[in-house]
Amino acid sequence: MTTGWWQHDGNRSACVQPGAHRSARCGTGGRRGPHTARAYTGPNVIIVRFGGGVRRSETIVGKKSYAPYMLNVLARRGTLIPNMTIAQLDGVDTSHAEGTLNILTGRYRGYSKVGSQGLAPLLEPGAPTLFEYVRKAFDIPVHQALLVNGEDRPQEEYLTYGGHAHYGVSYRSEVIGLFRYKLHKFRRILEENTASEAELTEAAKQLKELKAQDYRGTAGDSSPVMERFWDTWRAQYGDTGLKNPRGDRLLTELAVKAIRELKPRLMMINYQDPDYVHWGNASHYTRAIGIIDQGLQRLVDTVDLDPAYRGRTVFVVVPDCGRDANGLMSVPFQHHFNTRSSHEIFGLFFGPGIAQGKVLDKPVDQTSVATTIGAIMGFKASGAEGRALSEILT
Ligand SMILES: [Zn+2]
């Protein structure tokens, strides 16, 4: 059997590597020591969550697609999986945090509800996430395992690690998004102590409110690398929040800045704006798909121009969930009614080691994404249910 770079044994965490002594902290979720992981030499992986909730008909169906760059340019660079689905199982909701966790853990229902913020559930994964697997297997600092989040979904800030005893918070991802930026900004304003009394009082109030939303307590300990990242963002866009791009365009800007300055090895970008269709206007949905398509182009152009990423980066594009296709509903395009099309999504993989110009036209589960990323990066997502898609690997 020939062995490719994706096939080396990433299953052995350092705790069981020959020659590595067993640390008392191995497997406890405690802070790992420097002996515990190998340097990572595999490809960078960028997961683009084509959220929040898109149907195949507006994305991968030729004449109707609002994502022409993805469909006509990117699909030729890799393998398109038009028949990816979210399984019809009891208790599987086709929604945003749920689908994101299917992707990140490779399991359906691999989470528990720990509360809610407004109407949105707060979910905690019970199985390890991809960030935890890769950071346990390899020596990758937290700022190189990144989750790029939308500004109005603080409940998704915390999809960064699961409750699994052998993984957990020591292997979590870093998060970038406006929530984190605002925390940084108000801390800085208070440290600088040069604003007016009223502004300082307001900054203290805002900071307290933001901290109250941080129910997992991971937003408090920012590293010098992240402080620098946010300082330069603040220098560029200022304190008003009026100059920086908004919505999914903001996520693209943050991801491009991260590629240039943080050099992530695994990054997930949680696009979300197609979900504004909940309020009933179909053009919000189709326009948002086009903005994600433009974001993809910007990300791919950035990668293709960067020597650290060019030819060394695998993209994985996958929606969190589909949407209903019943035109008779009073508010069309919902995704909570367990209809067939809300389970129908797609996948696109491209980059080194991925078959080019291929269509894998058979049913594939959304939970296969995690296992396949494990095969690409060289670790075993041992808690995942889905299979590794060996057909798409060259
Ligand atoms: Zn929604």
- In one-letter notation, the amino acid at residue 341 is S
Query: 35 C-alpha to center of ligand 1: Å?
Result: 43
* pLDDT per position as a tens digit, 357-381: 999 999 999 999 999 999 999 999 9
Q: Do residues 107 and 91 make contact, with C-beta atoms less than 8 angstroms apart?
A: no
Res. 131 pLDDT band, cuts 50 70 90: very high
Q: What is the pLDDT of the chain when averaged over all its residues?
A: 86
Residue range 95-110: mean pLDDT, rounded: 92
376 CA distance to ligand 1 centroid (A)? 30
Helices (runs of H) and strands (runs of E) counted in the chain = 10, 11
For residues 261 and 266, give the distance between their C-alpha atoms in angstroms, rounded to a whole number: 14
What is the rounded CA–CA span in Å between residue 239 and residue 18? 51
DSSP state of 39: P
- Expressed in angstroms and rounded, the spacing between residue 363 Cα and the centre of ligand 1 is 24
Nearest to 148 by CA among 293, 251, 301, 13: 251
Instruction: Give the model confidence (pLDDT) of 170-179 as tens digits.
Output: 899 999 998 8
Residue 311 has pLDDT above 60, yes or no: yes
Ligand 1 centroid vs 124 CA: distance in angstroms? 18
Q: Which residue has the higher pLDDT, 52 or 199?
A: 199
Under the banding of pLDDT at 50, 70 and 90, the label for residue 282 is confident
Rounded to 5°, the CA angle 46-48-54 comes to 165
Give residue 153's pLDDT: 67
pLDDT digits (tens, 9 = 90+) for 25-84: 333 333 444 456 899 999 999 999 999 899 999 999 988 899 999 999 999 999 999 999
CA of 375 to the centre of ligand 1 (A): 31
Q: What is the pLDDT of residues 320-356, one digit of tens each?
A: 999 988 766 666 788 888 889 999 999 999 999 999 9
Contact 288, 19 (CB under 8 A): no
Say which amino acid occupies 78: G
φ, ψ at 304 (rounded to 5°): -65, -20
CA of 229 to the centre of ligand 1 (A): 30
Pair 289, 58: CB distance under 8 Å:
yes
Q: Which of 262, 377, 272, 261 is nearest to 316 (CA)?
A: 377
Residues of the chain with pLDDT > 90, as a percent, come to 64
Q: What is the pTM of this model?
A: 0.89
Q: Report the pLDDT value the prediction gives residue 330, as an integer from 0 to 100.
A: 67
The candidate with the shortest Cα–Cα distance to 143, out of 160, 123, 122, is 160
Beta bridge partners of 359: 80
Q: How far is the CA of 47 from the centre of ligand 1 (A)?
A: 20
Q: Classify residue 202 by burial, with Cβ atoms within 10 Å: 0-12, 13-18, 19+.
A: middle
Mapped onto helix, strand or coil, the DSSP state of residue 78 is: strand
Tell me, in angstroms, the distance from the centre of ligand 1 to residue 11's CA. Answer: 36
Residue 286 Cα to ligand 1 midpoint, Å, equals 15
Segment 266-274 shows an average pLDDT of 96
> Best-predicted range by mean pLDDT among 69-83, 113-127, 218-232?
69-83
Of 15 and 333, more confident: 333
384 Cα: distance to centroid of ligand 1 (angstroms): 25
Superfamily of domain 48-392: Alkaline Phosphatase, subunit A (3.40.720.10)
Query: CA–CA separation, 252 vs 249, rounded Å?
Result: 5
Of 68, 114, 120, 122, residue with least CA distance to 278: 120
Cα–Cα distance, 292 to 279 (Å, whole number): 19
Instruction: For residue 274, report the distance from its CA to the centre of ligand 1, in Å.
Output: 8
Q: Residue 241's pLDDT band (boundaries 50, 70, 90)?
A: confident
- Contacts with 286 (C-beta within 8 Å, 6 or more apart), sequence order: 58, 66
* Single-letter amino acid code for the residue at 86: I
How far does residue 276's CA lie from ligand 1's centre (Å)? 8
For residue 333, report the distance from its CA to the centre of ligand 1, in Å: 9
- Band (pLDDT 50/70/90 cuts) for residue 15 is very low
C-alpha of residue 97 to centroid of ligand 1, in Å: 9
User: How confident is the model at residue 17, as a pLDDT?
Assistant: 31
Centre of ligand 1 from the C-alpha of residue 273, in Å: 9
Q: Dmax of the chain from CA atoms?
A: 70
Q: Give SS3 for 336.
A: coil
Ligand 1 centre from 266 Cα, in Å? 25
From first CA to last CA, the distance across the chain in angstroms is 13
Would you list the domain boundaries of the chain?
48-392
Report the pLDDT value the prediction gives residue 154, as an integer from 0 to 100. Answer: 66
Measured in Å, residue 272 CA sits from the centre of ligand 1 at 9
- Compute the distance from residue 183 Cα to the ligand 1 centre, in Å: 26
Given this model, what pLDDT does residue 139 score? 97
Query: CB neighbours (10 Å) of residue 24?
Result: 8
Nearby residues of 200 by Cβ (< 8 Å), 6 or more positions away: 189, 190, 193
Tell me the pLDDT band of 121, cut-offs 50, 70 and 90: confident
Joined together, the tokens standing for residue 11 give: 């299953």
